[in-house]
Amino acid sequence: MTIALVTGGNRGIGYGIVRRLANEYPSSAVGASGSPLTILLGSRTLDNGQKARDSILSELASSAAKVTITPLQLDISDPESIKRASAEIQSRYADQGGIDVLINNAGIALDGFDADVIRNTMATNYHATKHVIKSIPVRDGGRIVNVASMAGILRGYGPEVTQRFLDAKTEADVDAIVADYEADVRNGHCQDKGWKSAAYSTSKCALIAYTRILDADYKKAGKNVAVNACCPGYVNTDMTKGRGVKSIDEGAATPVHLALQDLKGVTGEFWENSSVSKWHQQ
């Protein structure tokens, strides 16, 4: 059995990812073994997850017959919800030794810019995503896909901030960058310290930096897990207030590529349009 978890899977890009995983799995590199796929559709409420599951099942191609979609209550902003979801997964699939694919799609984009917006955005997009990764084991040979954004490209910051992101070698290094950003915004030093007045953008930049570090840590530990971050594109969702130019199916293409296809050993990178892209762009 192959097990995949998609956080925020009940709507928007997450919905598209679940649907595309189910449709593409049978003909993918990961699905070549013929092992049946179970997709855990993470959703803040079980009711919303069940409705999304039923809707997706009605839309699937006949080739997705070996795919099971199971709703999972998972609100990544709630540590207790993550704890319960982790316990449920480890109990239900105790003989599996972990899941095979973790797609961290859940995230928020808040209006405005102040200390509260920064804190809440970082709490979900950065800290909570890390908490999910640490709480839900991915077995050897598995994959982690962190859905980021082109907004997370490392550009538009002052030289010192840019260099700190580039020099970050540990999770603690990125945590310190995030903490300093929050403190400088709170104390009115955002501009003069070289930060961008963009909470969502900086949270995704931090997530990409962490992705690179997590990949290096896995390699040092001898763990074979492919860890990548990606931009789904400017997708027409509630988050983009309907202004996106891509459909949710198009937005799901790169995350699903990273989850299912032959990556030729590439890991620890930032991707867009199913290809490696430069994270640091001047």
Distance CA 252, CA 207 (A): 19
Under DSSP, the state recorded for 246 is B
Mean pLDDT in the chain?
94
Phi, psi (rounded to 5 degrees) for 88 = -65, -45
**How many Cβ atoms from other residues are within 10 Å of residue 221's Cβ?**
9
**How many Cβ atoms from other residues are within 10 Å of residue 218's Cβ?**
19
The mean pLDDT of 59-70, rounded to a whole number, is 83
The tens digit of pLDDT for each residue in 117-133 reads 999 999 999 999 999 99
The pLDDT-based confidence of 180 (bands split at 50, 70, 90) is: very high
The pLDDT-based confidence of 141 (bands split at 50, 70, 90) is: very high
Pair of tokens at residue 179: 């903490």
Distance CA 214, CA 217 (A): 5
Pair of tokens at residue 67: 């795919």
The pLDDT-based confidence of 234 (bands split at 50, 70, 90) is: low
pLDDT at residue 240, rounded to an integer: 59
Give SS3 for 277: strand
Report yes or no: 177 and 168 within 8 Å, Cβ to Cβ: yes
pLDDT at residue 66, rounded to an integer: 79
Listed in sequence order, the residues at least 6 apart from 103 whose beta carbon sits closer than 8 Å to its beta carbon are 4, 5, 6, 7, 17, 144, 145, 147, 255, 259
For residue 167, how far is the Cα from the chain centroid?
A: 23
| Domains delineated in the chain | 2-277 (3.40.50.720)
Residue that is written with structure tokens 């079980």 in the block:
46
**Residue 34 forms beta bridges with which residues?**
none
Question: Which pairs from 91-96 meet CB under 8 Å and 24+ separation?
Answer: 93/1, 93/3, 96/1, 96/3, 96/139
The whole model's pTM is what? 0.95
Pair of tokens at residue 249: 């199916």
pLDDT at position 275 over 90? yes
Distance CA 271, CA 259 (A): 12
pLDDT at residue 10, rounded to an integer: 97
The CA radius of gyration of the chain, in Å to the nearest whole number, is 18
pLDDT at residue 281, rounded to an integer: 76
The tens digit of pLDDT for each residue in 11-26 reads 999 999 999 999 999 9
pLDDT at residue 282, rounded to an integer: 64
